[in-house]
Copies of this chain bind each other. A is one copy, B any other.
Amino acid sequence: MQLYNYFRSSASYRVRIALALKGLDYEYKPVHLVKREQLAESYAAVSASRLVPLLRDGDATLTQSMAIIEYLDETHPEPPLLPKEALGRARVRALAQDMACEIHPLNNLRVLRYLVHDLKVSEDDKNRWYRHWVETGLEVVERQMAEHPATGRFCHGDTPGLADCVLVPQVFNAQRFNCRLDHVPTVMRVYEACMQLDAFDKTQPAACPDAE
Protein backbone atom coordinates (compact mmCIF):
# COMPACT_ATOMS: atom_id res chain seq x y z
CA MET A 1 0.00 0.00 0.00
CA GLN A 2 1.02 3.59 -0.60
CA LEU A 3 -0.25 6.51 1.46
CA TYR A 4 -0.15 9.94 -0.15
CA ASN A 5 -0.21 12.36 2.72
CA TYR A 6 1.22 15.43 4.42
CA PHE A 7 2.77 15.34 7.87
CA ARG A 8 0.65 18.19 9.21
CA SER A 9 -2.66 17.21 7.59
CA SER A 10 -4.84 15.92 10.38
CA ALA A 11 -6.93 13.83 7.99
CA SER A 12 -3.66 12.16 6.91
CA TYR A 13 -2.68 11.57 10.53
CA ARG A 14 -6.02 9.77 11.12
CA VAL A 15 -5.15 7.22 8.45
CA ARG A 16 -1.55 6.82 9.66
CA ILE A 17 -2.92 5.92 13.10
CA ALA A 18 -5.38 3.39 11.67
CA LEU A 19 -2.68 1.72 9.57
CA ALA A 20 -0.45 1.54 12.63
CA LEU A 21 -3.23 0.11 14.84
CA LYS A 22 -3.75 -2.57 12.19
CA GLY A 23 -0.01 -3.21 11.98
CA LEU A 24 0.00 -2.56 8.22
CA ASP A 25 3.11 -1.48 6.33
CA TYR A 26 2.91 1.15 3.62
CA GLU A 27 5.04 3.40 1.51
CA TYR A 28 4.94 7.01 2.68
CA LYS A 29 4.38 9.40 -0.23
CA PRO A 30 4.64 13.04 0.86
CA VAL A 31 2.46 15.70 -0.81
CA HIS A 32 3.39 19.19 0.38
CA LEU A 33 0.11 21.08 0.86
CA VAL A 34 1.66 24.45 1.65
CA LYS A 35 3.66 24.25 -1.58
CA ARG A 36 0.33 23.19 -3.19
CA GLU A 37 1.78 20.00 -4.60
CA GLN A 38 -1.73 18.49 -4.41
CA LEU A 39 -2.68 20.71 -7.37
CA ALA A 40 0.27 19.70 -9.55
CA GLU A 41 -0.36 17.68 -12.72
CA SER A 42 1.66 14.77 -11.33
CA TYR A 43 -0.74 14.45 -8.38
CA ALA A 44 -3.85 15.04 -10.49
CA ALA A 45 -2.88 11.88 -12.36
CA VAL A 46 -3.07 9.97 -9.07
CA SER A 47 -5.99 11.75 -7.45
CA ALA A 48 -9.24 13.00 -9.00
CA SER A 49 -10.04 14.87 -5.78
CA ARG A 50 -6.58 16.45 -5.39
CA LEU A 51 -6.91 16.05 -1.65
CA VAL A 52 -4.82 14.09 0.82
CA PRO A 53 -4.85 11.51 2.25
CA LEU A 54 -5.11 9.01 -0.57
CA LEU A 55 -4.41 5.31 -0.17
CA ARG A 56 -3.43 2.99 -3.00
CA ASP A 57 -4.08 -0.66 -2.34
CA GLY A 58 -3.06 -2.67 -5.39
CA ASP A 59 -4.98 -1.13 -8.29
CA ALA A 60 -7.50 0.56 -6.02
CA THR A 61 -7.41 4.24 -5.11
CA LEU A 62 -9.15 5.27 -1.91
CA THR A 63 -9.95 8.76 -0.67
CA GLN A 64 -11.56 10.46 2.34
CA SER A 65 -9.96 9.50 5.63
CA MET A 66 -13.03 8.03 7.36
CA ALA A 67 -13.93 5.98 4.28
CA ILE A 68 -10.33 4.72 4.11
CA ILE A 69 -10.37 3.72 7.77
CA GLU A 70 -13.66 1.82 7.37
CA TYR A 71 -12.17 0.09 4.31
CA LEU A 72 -9.11 -0.95 6.31
CA ASP A 73 -11.39 -2.21 9.06
CA GLU A 74 -13.41 -4.30 6.58
CA THR A 75 -10.40 -5.72 4.75
CA HIS A 76 -8.18 -6.21 7.85
CA PRO A 77 -10.66 -6.87 10.65
CA GLU A 78 -8.14 -7.29 13.49
CA PRO A 79 -7.99 -5.38 15.75
CA PRO A 80 -11.44 -3.92 15.06
CA LEU A 81 -11.78 -0.12 14.95
CA LEU A 82 -15.57 -0.20 15.29
CA PRO A 83 -17.64 -2.11 17.84
CA LYS A 84 -19.79 -5.04 16.77
CA GLU A 85 -23.29 -3.76 17.68
CA ALA A 86 -25.08 -1.24 15.47
CA LEU A 87 -25.66 1.28 18.27
CA GLY A 88 -22.02 1.29 19.29
CA ARG A 89 -20.93 1.64 15.68
CA ALA A 90 -23.30 4.58 15.26
CA ARG A 91 -21.91 6.24 18.38
CA VAL A 92 -18.30 5.87 17.26
CA ARG A 93 -19.09 7.15 13.76
CA ALA A 94 -21.05 10.09 15.16
CA LEU A 95 -18.17 11.08 17.46
CA ALA A 96 -15.75 10.87 14.54
CA GLN A 97 -18.10 12.97 12.42
CA ASP A 98 -18.57 15.53 15.20
CA MET A 99 -14.92 16.34 14.56
CA ALA A 100 -14.46 15.41 10.89
CA CYS A 101 -17.65 17.18 9.71
CA GLU A 102 -18.16 19.96 12.24
CA ILE A 103 -14.69 21.17 13.21
CA HIS A 104 -11.95 20.17 10.81
CA PRO A 105 -13.51 21.30 7.49
CA LEU A 106 -13.70 24.87 8.79
CA ASN A 107 -10.04 24.96 9.67
CA ASN A 108 -8.22 23.32 6.83
CA LEU A 109 -5.60 25.10 4.81
CA ARG A 110 -7.67 26.01 1.78
CA VAL A 111 -10.39 27.53 3.96
CA LEU A 112 -7.92 29.62 5.97
CA ARG A 113 -6.40 30.72 2.67
CA TYR A 114 -9.81 31.83 1.37
CA LEU A 115 -10.48 33.79 4.56
CA VAL A 116 -7.21 35.68 4.25
CA HIS A 117 -6.86 36.08 0.49
CA ASP A 118 -10.45 36.41 -0.66
CA LEU A 119 -12.27 37.80 2.36
CA LYS A 120 -9.27 39.87 3.56
CA VAL A 121 -9.76 38.67 7.10
CA SER A 122 -7.00 39.77 9.49
CA GLU A 123 -4.55 37.31 11.03
CA ASP A 124 -6.18 37.85 14.42
CA ASP A 125 -9.67 37.20 13.10
CA LYS A 126 -8.46 34.12 11.27
CA ASN A 127 -7.01 32.73 14.48
CA ARG A 128 -10.17 33.60 16.37
CA TRP A 129 -12.21 31.74 13.71
CA TYR A 130 -9.94 28.72 14.06
CA ARG A 131 -10.22 28.64 17.84
CA HIS A 132 -13.96 29.29 17.80
CA TRP A 133 -14.74 26.13 15.81
CA VAL A 134 -12.26 23.98 17.72
CA GLU A 135 -13.37 25.14 21.16
CA THR A 136 -17.13 24.99 20.53
CA GLY A 137 -16.83 21.80 18.49
CA LEU A 138 -14.78 19.93 21.08
CA GLU A 139 -17.29 21.06 23.71
CA VAL A 140 -19.92 19.10 21.77
CA VAL A 141 -17.65 16.05 21.75
CA GLU A 142 -17.03 16.47 25.48
CA ARG A 143 -20.77 16.58 26.21
CA GLN A 144 -21.30 13.38 24.24
CA MET A 145 -18.47 11.60 26.03
CA ALA A 146 -18.38 12.94 29.59
CA GLU A 147 -21.33 11.14 31.08
CA HIS A 148 -21.86 8.38 28.56
CA PRO A 149 -21.52 4.88 30.03
CA ALA A 150 -19.80 3.60 26.85
CA THR A 151 -16.87 5.99 27.21
CA GLY A 152 -13.93 4.09 28.58
CA ARG A 153 -10.19 4.52 28.54
CA PHE A 154 -10.78 5.53 24.90
CA CYS A 155 -13.74 7.18 23.14
CA HIS A 156 -15.70 3.95 23.17
CA GLY A 157 -14.63 1.28 25.61
CA ASP A 158 -11.07 0.30 26.43
CA THR A 159 -9.62 -0.24 22.97
CA PRO A 160 -8.82 2.51 20.47
CA GLY A 161 -11.01 2.90 17.40
CA LEU A 162 -12.20 5.18 14.61
CA ALA A 163 -13.22 8.05 16.90
CA ASP A 164 -9.80 8.03 18.59
CA CYS A 165 -8.12 8.15 15.16
CA VAL A 166 -9.98 11.45 14.61
CA LEU A 167 -9.76 12.86 18.14
CA VAL A 168 -5.98 12.81 18.50
CA PRO A 169 -5.18 14.77 15.29
CA GLN A 170 -7.91 17.27 16.24
CA VAL A 171 -6.26 17.86 19.62
CA PHE A 172 -2.89 18.27 17.89
CA ASN A 173 -4.40 21.02 15.73
CA ALA A 174 -6.01 22.62 18.76
CA GLN A 175 -2.68 22.76 20.58
CA ARG A 176 -0.85 24.16 17.56
CA PHE A 177 -3.30 27.08 17.44
CA ASN A 178 -3.30 27.59 21.22
CA CYS A 179 -6.94 26.70 21.64
CA ARG A 180 -8.51 26.47 25.06
CA LEU A 181 -8.75 22.85 26.16
CA ASP A 182 -9.44 23.05 29.90
CA HIS A 183 -13.20 22.77 29.25
CA VAL A 184 -12.87 19.32 27.64
CA PRO A 185 -11.28 17.11 30.34
CA THR A 186 -12.67 13.84 28.98
CA VAL A 187 -11.38 14.59 25.48
CA MET A 188 -7.95 15.34 26.97
CA ARG A 189 -7.96 12.23 29.14
CA VAL A 190 -8.62 10.09 26.08
CA TYR A 191 -5.97 11.99 24.12
CA GLU A 192 -3.38 11.26 26.82
CA ALA A 193 -4.33 7.57 26.86
CA CYS A 194 -3.94 7.38 23.09
CA MET A 195 -0.55 9.07 23.08
CA GLN A 196 0.80 6.33 25.30
CA LEU A 197 0.33 3.93 22.39
CA ASP A 198 2.94 3.62 19.65
CA ALA A 199 0.28 3.72 16.92
CA PHE A 200 -0.54 7.31 17.88
CA ASP A 201 2.87 8.46 19.03
CA LYS A 202 5.06 7.16 16.21
CA THR A 203 2.77 8.49 13.47
CA GLN A 204 2.47 12.02 14.84
CA PRO A 205 3.36 14.94 12.55
CA ALA A 206 6.82 15.53 14.02
CA ALA A 207 7.74 11.87 13.46
CA CYS A 208 6.89 11.88 9.74
CA PRO A 209 9.56 11.66 7.01
CA ASP A 210 8.42 15.02 5.57
CA ALA A 211 8.24 16.83 8.94
CA GLU A 212 9.80 20.26 8.98
Contacts and interface: CB of A to CB of B under 8 A. Distances in A.
A106 interface: yes
A104 B115 CA distance: 17
A74 B86 CA distance: 6
A90 interface: yes
B93 A67 contact: yes
Contacts of A114: 129, 132
How many copies the complex holds: the figure is: 2
A contact patch SS: helix
A121 B98 CA distance: 26
A119 interface: yes
Interface stretch (A56-64, A180-188, A200-208): A56-64
Contact of A90 (B71, B111, B144): B71
Interface of A: 48-51, 60, 62-64, 66-68, 70-71, 74-75, 86-87, 89-91, 93-94, 97-98, 100-102, 104-106, 111, 114-115, 118-119, 121, 125, 128-129, 132, 140, 143-144
